[in-house]
Amino acid sequence: MTTGIFFIMILYNAQDIQFMTDDLSALLNDNEKLKPPHDEGTLKVLIVDDEPTVHAITALVLKDFQYRGYRLELMSAYSAAEAREILAFHGPFALILLDVIMETDDAGLTLARYIREELKDSMVRIILRTGQPGMVPQRQVMRDYEIDDYKEKAELTSERFDATVTASIRTYLGFRKLEQSRQGLIRILGAIRDVESSGLDEDLSSRILDQIESVMNRESNSGMGSILVADEEDGERILSGRGIHKELTDCNLGKLNNPKIIEMIRKTLKSGKTVHDGRYLMTTLHSKKGERYLAYFEDVTDFGDMERYLVELYASHVNVSLDNMLLNR
């Protein structure tokens, strides 16, 4: 157990500290009080410390934390062993606030090594907080355990703590974006290889829908509706349908039986752009011969700049296969 005190530049009397300690469980687990409403911009933070007061004050300081629209969901572990269980079932975490001395003198360091070497989690930011800095040399810890920051509990004012958390969250989001880009490019390469190897496969239009869903990291068999539309001389034609629209294959666009969506599809075909209105996604694909197609997806609520870039990148590389599909129809 550490003996240092975590200062936040707020004076608490003994009664206040006792209240925070006694009420800690409710504070950390009451969804209405601490956990923000369902929000795509929520990041998880794990507090690992054997001192209940540290958990209480940390929760108090971070309860209103925001960074670029992201809020924090805090979880607590009072030992390294408990932290391992939480990491196994409740990840991924953006940040871990980690004490060193808990059930053993090196429990925190052992946990940090477990996270980096066994869980292979290089993205989560780990801030080591100790009340006994002399027992844990900073230079050695930063080098040997892949710790991202090292703080003495006594030096952490609320302002410094906020700055430290902000820097860590910023770094995590940067790493996450790079990893999303890498995974997205891998999915695009796989999808392009699949199209190129398929030749004149009659199921190509259906598989293009699958591949765009894969690029968006969305399950193709989710049951949500999607169609691929061709802009032909005698009108728009649905080439393939998936999910709730699986019966819409090789038929007129009017069979979609939704005037509002049909009008949106026609406008998007003319503009040649990618459109997302919060629920529906439409992206156009162009063949080298000038033929124009549109992939339409329903219930796409999570579609940011990265997803848009990946979908448009895929569309720009699939034109040859679209030419082949046209010749085969």
Strand 125-130 to strand 235-242: parallel, antiparallel, or no bridges (unpaired)?
Answer: unpaired
Cβ neighbours around 278 below 10 Å, total: 8
14-175 is classed CATH 3.30.950.10: no
Task: Label residue 2 by pLDDT band (50, 70, 90).
Answer: very low
For the chain, what are the domain ranges? 14-175, 199-328
Using the structure block, give the residue that is written with the tokens 């040859």: 320
Residue 125 · residue 96 · CB < 8 Å: yes
Average pLDDT value for residue range 17-42: 42
Residue 326 · residue 208 · CB < 8 Å: no
Spatial CA neighbour of 101 closest among 111, 115, 87 = 111
Average pLDDT value for residue range 217-237: 78
For residue range 166-192, list pLDDT tens digits in order. 999 999 998 988 888 788 788 777 776
Alpha-carbon 112 to chain mean position: 22
**Burial level of 168, CB count in 10 A (0-12/13-18/19+)?**
buried
State the greatest distance between any 2 C-alpha atoms of the chain, in Å, as a whole number.
81
Tokens of 116: 């980096």
For residue range 236-289, list pLDDT tens digits in order. 999 988 888 988 888 999 999 899 999 999 999 988 888 988 888 999 987 767
Return d(Cα 328, Cα 322) in angstroms, integer.
Answer: 10
Residue 315 · residue 208 · CB < 8 Å: no
pTM summary value = 0.63
The CATH homologous superfamily for domain 199-328 is GAF domain (3.30.450.40)
